[in-house]
Amino acid sequence: MAKEFNVPPVVFPSGASANLPNQRRAPASAPTFQPSRPTAGLGPNPNLPFMSFEIGSAQPSSSFSAAPVFAASTISSGSFEDEPPLLEELGINTRQIWRKTVSILNPIRVNSNLHEDADLSGPFIFLMAFGLFQLLAGKFYFGIILGWVTVAALFVYVVFNMLAGRSGNLDLYRCLSLVGYCMLPMVIFSAISLFVPHGGVVIFTMGSVFVLWSTRVCTQLLVELASGGEEHRGLIAYACWLVYMLFSLLVIF
């Protein structure tokens, strides 16, 4: 026995029903669903006031109607030219560092006037170069070098002021600058030691020469730039010799 299925009637709009007389009309009691026709113009939705689909109806806002105008004439080209270089703003004077370096290269006649203005830029460059040459030799000593230089400068500072007494005017910043600049012979020794076999007489002889070079330059600068050390030049030289002897041992061993 076949099962009957109730098929809902198809309802057409009023305009279409007049042209189709043979179609079955739904009874009045049956619910009808009329599809909504799209409106002729896509106007703004009242439920969504912030959305508008009419392209022509949008009006430019008064707050953004005027584009920002940047006057190029207000920027003066000379303002950038008058500014100092970046290295000078950071307190790094390359010419002064070069002059101090050249003065250290001559251990017989050292110009102490160039070292009156203490700085740490040159010593930092020398210490990094010393550590780099040691790294090429297979020794990672960057932390040891920075720590030893700090302790060495503090040691020389204490020894000098104890010997000079109340007349000594050496400050720790100047002492650190002088000890760091006088590391230049140790940097040269570290570079040359890469091509010299270790464990022989040659490396020890070279180390002694460069230690004496650094000791002489550092002692002369300390005595001439700080008062009260002329009478104790030998003891100050001994303290400087101990400092640079330790750095030479890093290179040899």
Q: Residue ranges of the domains in the chain?
A: 119-252
**Confidence (pLDDT) at 99:** 94
CA atoms within a 13 Å half-sphere pointing along the CA-CB vector of 76:
5
Q: Which helix (H) or strand (E) holds 218?
A: helix 201-225
**Confidence (pLDDT) at 85:** 72
**Structure confidence by residue, pLDDT tens digits, 157-173:** 999 999 998 888 899 99
Which residues in the chain land under pLDDT 70?
A: 1-82, 84, 87-91
Q: How far apart are the C-alpha atoms of 163 and 155, rounded to whole Å?
A: 12
Helical axes 233-252 vs 121-136, angle rounded to 10°: 30
The alpha-helical segments, DSSP class H, found in 106-200 are 121-136, 142-164, 172-181, 184-192
**Confidence (pLDDT) at 47:** 55
Question: Which amino acid belongs to residue 48?
Answer: L
Tokens of 126: 């020398």
**Structure confidence by residue, pLDDT tens digits, 172-184:** 999 999 999 999 9
Cβ density class 66-95: b for 16+ within 10 Å, e for less: eeeeeeeeeeeeeeeeeeeeeeeeeebbee
**Confidence (pLDDT) at 37:** 54
- 142 near 222, Cβ under 8 Å? no
Tokens of 79: 């303002």
Q: How far apart are the C-alpha atoms of 116 and 44, rounded to whole Å?
A: 80
Helical axes 142-164 vs 233-252, angle rounded to 10°: 170
**Confidence (pLDDT) at 81:** 67
CA-nearest of 42, 37, 40 to 14 is 37
pTM reported for the whole predicted model: 0.67
